[in-house]
Structures are given as structure tokens and as C-alpha cells.
Amino acid sequence: MKSFKPLAILLLASFLLGTGAHAATAMQLQTDSQAALEKLYAANPKNRDLGQKAYAILVFPTVVRAGLLMAGFERGDGVLYVKGQVDGYYNTSSLCPGLQAGAQTYSYALFFMTPEDLQSLKKSGGLNLGAAPGLTIADKGVAGGASLYTLQGIKAFVFGQKGLMANIGFKATKISQFTPSK
């Protein structure tokens, strides 16, 4: 049984890191990000109002998360829109130590309300540490937590959860700019 835990962690890491091997093209990321934003806006008209007021929006249309026992990982690619125009492409990856089990996908959007809010992401090097217990069953999610992003003028939305995931622990996230294939 002792060899099961390292093997499970290795398999999870391989799965999530492998999802980047077939990265979407720039056009596909834009299409998927716009569709994800429309789902967020359709869920609540106030979300669209907030989006129209935001200086920039970073959308990750599909983030994949998997965890088993004491280790979890997340990964996804997205698009940064500044004043409605594509300004860059980013990926997010997280290490999630803590008690957990399951796998899920979800969409994630960060609304930067001012240019200074966007600069805070760039100044931090894309690092975010947080504590967030959560439970996702089927396509309904219940999550709570505090992170550095929620303490600033940045509004974070997690939506479209699918899968089965239970976790409690910490999450260290890195958001990095990258260049997708054409």
C-alpha cells in the first residue's frame, strides 16, 4: 500500500501535465473563452454588467483538476482581454496539497476592475496562495475560501463545474503568459 501513494501522485501529475501537450490554438482559445464568458453572463445578468465595467478579464474556459489522498493538480489555458480586445494568452497551473479525491473540470474568470488590479497580477509574477475548501458534484459547485485575489479589487468567478471532487487544503497557483500555436 505504501507504493500506491507515490504511483497515484505520479499518474495524476502525468495526466494534468499531459493536457498541455495538445494545447489549443489561439483561435480555439478565443472561441472557447468567449463561449465561457457567455455562460457566465447568462447565469446572472449582473455578471455581464461587471464584465462591461472591468478593465480586463482573464478567462480560462477549461481547467482540469484531479486529486487523490494528499496531492492534487490543476491546469488550463486562457485569454486575457483588455477593454474587450485580446491582449495575451495565459496558462494556470496549481499544486493543491491537502486531503482530496476526485476529478473535475471548470471555467475560471478573473475580472480586473482597474489597470492597477491587472498590474498586481504582473507584479506578483502570477503567484497566488489561498485556502479553499470545496465540493463539486456533477455540474453544481459549492466552494468557499480566501485568496490573495479576492482580497484585492479583482473579482474571481469559478463556474461550469463538472465532475466529482472533494478537497480541503491549500492551493499554490501560477499564472504565466505563453504563446499558443496559430
| Grid cell at residue 180 | 499558443
Pick from 59, 166, 61, 157: which is nearest to 103 by CA? 166
Give me the residue spans of the domains in the chain.
4-178
In the predicted model, is pLDDT for residue 38 greater than 90? yes
Give 53-97 pLDDT, tens digit per residue: 999 999 999 999 888 887 888 899 999 999 999 999 999 888 777
Quote the pLDDT of residue 80.
Answer: 95
Q: Of the candidates 63, 53, 54, 62, which has an alpha carbon nearest to the alpha carbon of residue 31?
A: 62
- Residue matched to cell numbers 497580477: 121
Segment holding 41, helix H or strand E: helix 26-43
Number of H helices and E strands in the chain, helices first, is: 4, 9
Residue 55: name the closest of 91, 90, 81 by CA. Answer: 81
